[in-house]
Structure 1
Amino acid sequence: MAALALLRGSAPARLLSGCVRSALTGASWKDSGSRRHFSNDKILVELDEATGVALMKMKNPPVNSLSLDFLTEFSIGLEKLEMDRGCRGVILTSAVPKIFSAGLDITEMCGKSAEHYAAFWRAVQEMWLKLYGSNMVTIAAVNGSSPAGGCLMAMCCDYRIMVDNPKYAIGLNETQLGIVAPFWFKDTMTNLVGHRVTEQSLQLGQMYPAPEALRVGLVDQLVPEDKILSTASSVMTQWLSVPDHARQITKSMMRKQTIDKLVSQREADIKNFVGFVTKDSIQKSLQIYMEKLKQRKQ
Structure 2
Amino acid sequence: MLQLIDHPDAIREIRLARAPVNALDPALIRAIRHAVEAAPADGVAGLVLSGAPGMFSAGLDVPSLLALDREALMPVWADFFGIFAAIARSPIPVVAAITGHSPAGGAVMAIHCDYRVMAAGDFRIGLNEVQVGLVVPECLQLALRRLVGPRHAEQLMVAGAMIPAQRAVEIGMVDELAATDDVVPQAIGWLRQRLALPRQAMLATRAIARADLHAAYAGPMPLADVQARWWSDETQATMKALVARLKSR
Cross-structure match for 2:189: 234
Note closer, same or farther for the CA distance 1:44–1:226 as it changes in structure 2 (3 Å cut): same
Alpha-carbon deviations, 1:244-268, whole Å to 9, x = none?
22222222223333333333232xx
Q: Percent of counterpart pairs with the same letter?
A: 28
Note closer, same or farther for the CA distance 1:52–1:108 as it changes in structure 2 (3 Å cut): same
Cross-structure match for 1:225: 180
Deviation at 1:108, TM superposition (A): 4.4
Aligned residues: 249
AA in 1 matched with 2:83: M
Q: What TM-score comes out, normalization by structure 1 length?
A: 0.79
AA in 1 matched with 2:203: Q
User: Contact 1:172–1:207 (CA<8 Å) still a contact in 2?
Assistant: yes
Q: Among 152, 155, 160, which residue is 2:116 paired with? A: 160
Deviation at 1:273, TM superposition (A): 1.2
Note closer, same or farther for the CA distance 1:54–1:217 as it changes in structure 2 (3 Å cut): same
User: Contact 1:170–1:210 (CA<8 Å) still a contact in 2?
Assistant: yes
Runs (5+) with no aligned partner, structure 2: none
Separation (CA, whole Å) in 1 of partners of 2:150 and 2:144: 8
Q: Among 83, 100, 104, which residue is 1:127 paired with? A: 83
Cross-structure match for 2:6: 47
Q: Among 7, 13, 17, which residue is 1:59 paired with? A: 17
| Secondary structure, counterpart of 1:141 in structure 2 | strand
Which stretches of structure 1, 4 residues or more, deviate above 6 A after TM superposition?
none
Matches within 5 A, 1:27-106: 42-48=1-7, 50-85=8-43, 87-94=44-51, 96-106=52-62
User: Contact 2:168–2:174 (CA<8 Å) still a contact in 1?
Assistant: yes
Deviation at 1:215, TM superposition (A): 0.8
Separation (CA, whole Å) in 2 of partners of 1:242 and 1:254: 16
Runs (5+) with no aligned partner, structure 1: 1-41
Deviation at 1:219, TM superposition (A): 0.7
Deviation at 1:60, TM superposition (A): 1.2
Larger Rg: 1
| Secondary structure, counterpart of 1:92 in structure 2 | strand
Cross-structure match for 1:257: 212
| Secondary structure, counterpart of 1:181 in structure 2 | coil
AA in 1 matched with 2:26: L
Separation (CA, whole Å) in 2 of partners of 1:261 and 1:54: 26
